[in-house]
Amino acid sequence: MPQSKKLDIVLFGATGFTGELIAEYLARAQLHEPFRWAIAGRDPQKLERLKTRLCSINPVVREDLQIIIAESDQPETLRAMAARTRVVLSVVGPYIHHGEALVSACIETGADYADLTGEPEFVDRMIQRYQAAAAERKVKIIHSCGFDSIPHDLGVFYTLRQLAQRLGKETMRQSDVKVEGFVRAGGRLSGGTWHSAIHAFSRAWDYLQQRRERETHRRGSPREVGSLMPTLKYRAEVGAWALPFPTIDPMVIERTATELDSYGQRFHYGHYVRVKRLPRVLMGVAAVASVFTLAQIPPARNWLLKQKPQGSGPSAAQRAYGHFSVIFIAHCDGLKLTTQVSGGDPGYTETAKMLGETGLCLALDRRVLPKHYGIVTPVVGMGKRLLQRLELAGIRFEVIKEEDCE
């Protein structure tokens, strides 16, 4: 990282709904560990108002916090912004429309980058176009650092570390490993998340045609990484129906497993949402199918986008009722281990915490992070140090049950 950089973290998109929550989190974090940061966006008046509000959380902000004006469609402003900092956190989506220029700017100027994207097409595009350049410059570009996909990527990592403690690292490396994740969450979508989902739905067929069939085996490697066959059925272990859940999370976990031989000689993952009652499963499937269908028709898609304006989100009182838990069931060498990752409101409170701690981890802990560079996953790029930070921040990682399965 160039020594001339004056800032540790820049938060780009700070005046959006989620951006403001992350700014508040960083302002509180600065009370406990020193770092230099800035809020960035296109509207100077909104940024000034946000800075004034942050002063009530941390008075140091008044003198210490900087403001940077930058726009996603003005690459020169993005390069100037990235050149000033060690890490850029981006909350400006949909990333397929607004993300690439900033990724390019960070690689060019040697800044690490993290975002909240849940858009597989965007991530694939960044890997194809920028992996080599980012690795060569020893830059970490880490996508999906919110509820997509921190609890799932770090949850599998935690689970396999627990297995390795019981079975031994060498046994793990040589074994077949199977992990299933079962997520349940209560909370509300923001306007930004809704817009990203609608745009992703509208591009799904083009994305599938471009990608055709995603490889589940790494070519030229004796190790096997893939997905479990998705099936809808009642699972007594989690006390709910398990509905296959086609989010970006399995893609992230499989990328991690491909890079780390500690995930076993053969690793397979299954991803599900937990639903207590079958009628709710059917209603949920019907609702998603309806939104997906409408997103393919431009007038209907525009109508959907208007239902949740960008910049909107739930109140603090509504967020207080939010919660999530992900149960992981892992099988390896005759041992069955059940773990859980859990926390509060997933889409906002905990997402702000996850991206905030990602930025702090990249900026302040770089010397102890894994020496993996390029377009990497949260686990590959930050590993156990991010896990430690999240545990200290109140996200719970725990072993629930251990039993022989032979």
Q: What is the pLDDT of residues 325-384, one digit of tens each?
A: 999 999 999 999 999 999 999 989 999 999 999 999 999 999 999 999 999 999 999 999
Give the per-residue pLDDT at 405: 74
Q: Peptide bond before 149: cis, by omega within 30 degrees of 0?
A: yes
Report residue 206's pLDDT band, with 50, 70 and 90 as the boundaries. low
The residues, ordered by sequence, that sit 6+ positions from 306 with a Cβ below 8 Å of its Cβ are: none
With 90 as the cut, is the pLDDT of residue 229 above it?
no
- Is 332 in contact with 406 (CB distance < 8 Å)? no
Which of 53, 44, 45, 42 is closest to 20 using CA atoms?
A: 53
Give the per-residue pLDDT at 26: 98
Q: Which residue has the higher pLDDT, 300 or 101?
A: 101
Mean pLDDT of 156-171: 96
Positive or negative CA dihedral for 273, 244, 197, 154?
positive
d(CA 150, CA 173): 23
Give the per-residue pLDDT at 180: 97
With 60 as the cut, is the pLDDT of residue 208 above it?
no
Beta-bridge partners for 338: 329, 401
Mean pLDDT of 91-116: 95
Give the per-residue pLDDT at 406: 62
The two three-digit tokens of residue 18, written as one number: 């989620």
d(CA 388, CA 362): 13
Least confident interval from 90-94, 312-316, 396-400: 312-316
d(CA 56, CA 34): 18
Beta-bridge partners for 177: 267, 332
Least confident interval from 99-103, 115-119, 201-205, 305-309: 201-205
